[in-house]
Amino acid sequence: MISSKQSHILYGLMLFVMIARHTLYLEELLLVDRMLSVLRFAFIPICIYLLVKNKTQTTLLDWGMVLYGSIILYSSLYRHILFADIVPFISTAIDVFIIWTILRTFFVNYDDFPVKALIISLSLFIYINFILLLLFPNGIWEGKELDAAPRYLLGGNYNQMGKAFILAIALNSIYTHRNTQLKKNLILLSVISVISLLFVGSKTSTVGVIILLLFTLLPSAKLRSAGLLAFVIVYCVFQITIVLQGGEVTNPYIVDFVENVLHKDMTFTYRTDIWYQSVLSIAHSPVIGYGYQSPEWYEQEIGGVMPHNYVLSVLMKGGLILLLCTISNVLLAYRQYRKHNNYTHQILFITLFVLLFMQLFEVYSFAITAILFTCLSYIHLIDKINDKTTAL
Residue-by-residue DSSP string for 138-149: T-SB---SS--S
Distance of CA 106 to the CA centre of its chain: 21
Residues 6+ apart with CB under 8 A from 134: none
* pLDDT at res. 27: 83
Residue 102 buriedness (CB in 10 A; 0-12 / 13-18 / 19+):
buried
C-alpha–C-alpha distance, residues 149 and 45, integer Å: 39
Of 79-83, 280-284, 367-371, the range with the lowest mean pLDDT is: 79-83
Q: Where are the alpha helices (DSSP H) in 239-342?
A: 252-256, 271-283, 295-302, 310-339
C-alpha–C-alpha distance, residues 289 and 317, integer Å: 5
C-alpha–C-alpha distance, residues 127 and 122, integer Å: 9
8 Å CB contact between 303 and 291: no
Kind and range of the H or E run holding 301:
helix 295-302
C-alpha–C-alpha distance, residues 175 and 114, integer Å: 11
The closest alpha carbon to 221, from 331, 346, 334, belongs to 346
Whether the per-residue pLDDT at 204 is higher than 90: the answer is: no
8 Å CB contact between 21 and 40: yes
C-alpha–C-alpha distance, residues 122 and 166, integer Å: 10
Whether the per-residue pLDDT at 387 is higher than 60: the answer is: no
Average pLDDT over residues 66-82: 87
Average pLDDT over residues 321-330: 95
Condensed to tens digits (0 to 9), the pLDDT of residues 136-171 reads 888 888 766 656 678 888 888 888 899 999 999 999
* pLDDT at res. 219: 83
Average pLDDT over residues 173-180: 78
Condensed to tens digits (0 to 9), the pLDDT of residues 14-68 reads 999 999 999 999 888 889 889 999 999 999 999 999 888 877 778 999 999 999 9
Beta-bridge partners for 154 = 24
- Please report, rounded to a whole number, the percentage of residues in the chain having pLDDT higher than 90: 45
Per DSSP, 293 falls in state -
Q: What is the pTM for the complete model shown?
A: 0.90
C-alpha–C-alpha distance, residues 155 and 152, integer Å: 7
On average, the pLDDT of the chain sits at 86
Q: What CA–CA distances, in Å, run from 172 to 119, 129, 186, 205, 328?
A: 6, 18, 6, 18, 28
Residues in the chain: 392
* pLDDT at res. 250: 66
**Can you tell me whether residue 265 is helix, strand or coil?**
coil
